[in-house]
Amino acid sequence: MFYLAIDILGTIAFAISGVLVAMEKKLDIFGVFIIAFVTAVGGGTLRDILLGATPVIWLQQPIYILTIIGSVVFAVFFVKQLKYLRRSLFLFDTIGIGLYTMVGIEKGLAADLAPIFCIALGTITASFGGVIRDILCNEIPVIFRKEIYATACILGGASYFLFKMFPIEVTYAYIGAILVVVLIRVIAVKFHISLPSIYRN
């Protein structure tokens, strides 16, 4: 029940972030819903397809669709207020990618995948919804720009396997990896740390 609650909170955060982007692009209500939907469940959908876990999770549990619809309605009515909460939404989104990174890794471990593929699966779970959102909104996806986003997921996922080498409970390794993702993302944004560009002026 705890993990479902965390998953739903993450769905709400990503759906609202999708609504804000869609409304900035002045899409109609159907477009707003589609952007919110793919942002919220895009990564998990690709993860389940890659694992052969079909039907995908949101087709099995209607609560995800209902949550997205509710989030869209809420965000549309309170869009002006939400614009003042961008910093809070950024933090919630960052916590979300930390949680979803570990959800993807756990799914990979359950499928007996090697650690490197588990980390890849966690990164896909956390960030691919944003990739679809940005492509549909005619933007270069944030993970392909200089921002530290997918890199935080990769490093956090790797830290999980590092933590597991120590004599600590798996729960602590799990929480520690989530914190690594969150801290890397927050520090990178706060201090304007980015990956180097291969282009020179």
Output the pLDDT for position 174: 87
DSSP 8-state code for residue 169: -
**154 band by pLDDT with thresholds 50, 70 and 90:** very high
The answer, yes or no, to whether residue 97 has pLDDT greater than 80, is yes
pLDDT tens for 75-86 read: 888 877 776 666
Output the pLDDT for position 95: 81
Percent of the chain whose predicted confidence (pLDDT) is above 70: 92
In the chain the first and final C-alpha atoms are separated, in Å, by 52
Residue 87 burial (C-beta neighbours within 10 Å; 0-12, 13-18, 19+): exposed
Output the pLDDT for position 85: 62
Output the pLDDT for position 185: 93
pLDDT tens for 1-50 read: 666 776 787 788 889 888 888 888 999 999 999 999 999 999 999 999 99
pTM (predicted TM-score): 0.86
**127 band by pLDDT with thresholds 50, 70 and 90:** very high
Q: What does pLDDT average to over the chain?
A: 88
**26, HSE (Cβ side, Cα atoms, 13 Å):** 0
How many residues can be counted in the chain? Answer: 201
